[in-house]
Amino acid sequence: MVFSDEINWTTFDFIIMGVLLLAFGIGINTVLINLSTKQSRIIALTLMAVLFLLVRMELAVGVFEGPLTRN
């Protein structure tokens, strides 16, 4: 899927994002079902959201310059 010269998503990109969203959704469901106190739910969901955003940013633009972004 090519919107412009700057954006070039492959099938692999869509699969990775789908897996990431699926895991995030399953994690949210698991937290809401298994944790009993409101405070523990808020902490767990906040940590999950931060982790999701960090992984998404790393995959999108390489914020941390990890092993996947080195030349």
In a domain, 40, yes or no: yes
Q: What is the pLDDT of residue 6?
A: 72
User: What SS3 string covers 29-62?
Assistant: HHHHHHCCCHHHHHHHHHHHHHHHHHHHHHHHHC
In a domain, 2, yes or no: no
In a domain, 20, yes or no: no
Domain that holds residue 36: 29-61
**Helix, strand or coil, per DSSP, at residue 26:** helix
In a domain, 14, yes or no: no
In a domain, 22, yes or no: no
Judge whether 44 and 50 are in contact, CB under 8 Å. no
Q: What is the pLDDT of residue 66?
A: 61
Q: What is the pLDDT of residue 11?
A: 86
Prediction pTM value: 0.75
pLDDT digits (tens, 9 = 90+) for 37-59: 999 999 999 999 999 999 898 88
Helix %, strand %, coil % of the chain (to 5): 70, 5, 30
Please count the CA atoms within 13 angstroms of the CA of 65 that sit on its side-chain side.
2
In a domain, 16, yes or no: no
Q: What is the pLDDT of residue 70?
A: 56
